[in-house]
Amino acid sequence: MVTTAEPPDIHHLDAACLVTVKPAGLLAVPGLGEHGALCLSAQVQALYPDALVVHRLDMATSGLMLFARGAEAQRHLSAAFANREVHKCYIAVVHGHVEQADGAIDLPLMADWPNRPLQKVDRAHGKPSLTRYRVLGIDAAAKTTRLELEPVTGRAHQLRVHLLAIGHPIVGDALYGPPADALAAPRRMLLHATRLVFPHPVTGTLTEVRSTPPF
């Protein structure tokens, strides 16, 4: 967990929106507990008071987060997410050798209520959830695979649960990975939101922002 505030790493800034990089271990929005007030949204709003949250990343995930500047921009960007007009790309390192060069994971997800905040695959009651993936490289020595991931839907923990479901949990995932990952603190989860494409809330022009994974 990040326990000290640092200036946001801004990758895009204009009068209607901004995109910054959330570090792994930092909350996206305020949470509970001793360090609950330390979050990316508070850091951004300290510099840009009109910044409003449009979407979130898990605390363990790093990468690009989009903020609207003002209520009107927030309405436009929220609608773009709801209509699947926003395209997100992640880089992950997963356990094992993913043999198929590319593919899709189409498994319905829902909350694992007795074990919140965990999510689970539930074919009877889960919400439709789709993730596309492409293999970028294999590390035979480490027994890991580097993947490019595109979440078509945006369910909670979608990438983490989908990869677990096909037998390749994300390296460093303390919730869904093997027990050794949960004990490997402070090692981070190797998942980074690397690319974001969205219709600009004023002009409608597709805006693309990229961030290089720190792993």
To the query of whether residue 58 is one of the catalytic residues in this protein, the response is: yes
Catalytic residue among 14, 50, 58, 173: 58
The Cα 111–Cα 118 span in angstroms is: 6
Task: Give me the active site residues, please.
Answer: 58
